[in-house]
């Protein structure tokens, strides 16, 4: 074994915005030496951060042909990672083990999640995988969406899953991951839909268009959330349709692509109209591809 590059990760994996602190460590992760991440400070990992960690590990594996080693994972965090199939991705070295009797029981916990699933960037394989994910989501929707359930919400979020996953093979030129989970943190119940890849990003997929047509960076991300535009079809709905669905259920969307991000929050104004509010950022630390988090809070 060569030089060890041991990095102590702070408790920054419990929130999509705190995950920005982890991105600051990426330069250090990709320096010379066998990378070891010490996760002893981690108290909770939410779905977006979990998938972001996978994307970082996969990029490291591609660049170095070596796996990042994870050490000192707190017991409850490791239980969760195993349950969500994080440890089955084959991307990390994890020597810690848990007695089978102490693993989360799938018969109970399964109802609230769709485990981490890879979406291939090949159309035929991807469509088959997306169909399987949708079938699993439908079978568990009454538990995943327990606090938001009405007659239409399952079909609406089948549309969300289909539209966003389709972007992976249509736009990203890379495979990606999806994860869905209802979870509770700080006495607040949330359901998170995460679909992420490390491909060419939204700017890359609109490269054939002039910058004046749809803008670049955060402006472009906002435009694809508010206008029926597509980089592959002359007239498309995609993320515009997704944002309208999320608005209807007073949720939020966070999209990060390369060096830009947009947060869309739905709020009810004094006239009881549900409106979208956007927060744009450019020139943030680079993280290849497009990472999307959709959150509903009870």
Q: Quickly count helices (H) and strands (E) in the chain.
A: 11, 9
Percent of the chain past pLDDT 90, that is, above it, reads 59
pLDDT at 211 > cutoff 80: no
**Candidates 3.30.420.10, 3.30.870.10, 3.40.50.1980, 3.30.565.10; CATH matching 108-297:** 3.30.565.10
Mean pLDDT of 78-105: 86
Which residue spans of the chain are classified as CATH 3.30.565.10?
A: 108-297
The pLDDT tens digits of the residues spanning 36-55 come to: 999 999 999 999 999 999 99
Dihedral sign for Cα 42, 44, 49, 53, please: positive
Q: Which residues pair with 117 in a beta bridge?
A: 178
4-95 classified as CATH 3.30.70.260: no
Mean pLDDT for the chain?
Answer: 88
Residues written for the chain? 298
- CA 154 – CA 151 distance, rounded (Å): 8
Q: What is the pLDDT of residue 236?
A: 44
Mean pLDDT of 161-182: 88
Q: What is the pLDDT of residue 172?
A: 81
pLDDT at 192 > cutoff 60: yes
Other residues' Cβ atoms within 10 Å of the Cβ of residue 125? 14
Mean pLDDT of 124-128: 91
């Amino acid at each position: 074994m060569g030089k060890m590059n041991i990095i102590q990760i702070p408790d920054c994996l419990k929130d999509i915005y705190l995950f920005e602190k982890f991105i600051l460590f990426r330069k250090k992760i990709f320096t010379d030496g066998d990378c070891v991440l010490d996760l002893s400070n981690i108290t909770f990992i939410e779905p977006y951060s979990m998938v972001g960690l996978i994307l970082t590990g996969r990029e490291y594996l591609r660049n170095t042909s070596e796996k990042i080693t994870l050490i000192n994972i707190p017991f409850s965090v490791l239980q969760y990672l195993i349950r969500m199939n994080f440890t089955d991705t084959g991307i990390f070295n994890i020597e810690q083990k848990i007695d089978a009797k102490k693993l989360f029981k799938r018969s109970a916990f399964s109802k609230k999640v769709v485990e981490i699933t890879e979406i291939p960037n090949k159309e035929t394989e991807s469509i088959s995988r997306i169909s399987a994910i949708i079938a699993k989501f439908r079978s568990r929707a009454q538990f995943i969406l327990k606090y938001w359930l009405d007659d239409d919400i399952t079909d609406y979020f089948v549309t969300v899953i289909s539209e966003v996953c389709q972007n992976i093979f249509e736009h990203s030129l890379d495979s990606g991951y999806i994860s869905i989970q209802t979870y509770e943190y700080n006495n607040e119940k949330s359901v998170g839909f995460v679909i992420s890849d490390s491909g060419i990003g939204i700017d890359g997929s609109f490269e054939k268009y002039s910058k004046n047509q749809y803008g670049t960076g955060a402006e472009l991300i906002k435009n694809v959330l508010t206008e029926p535009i597509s980089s592959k079809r002359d007239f498309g709905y995609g993320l515009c349709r997704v944002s309208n669905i999320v608005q209807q259920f007073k949720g939020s969307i966070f999209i990060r692509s390369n060096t830009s991000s947009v947060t869309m929050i739905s709020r009810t104004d004094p006239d009881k109209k549900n409106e979208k509010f956007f927060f744009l950022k450019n020139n943030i630390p680079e993280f290849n591809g497009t990472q999307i988090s959709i959150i509903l809070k009870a």
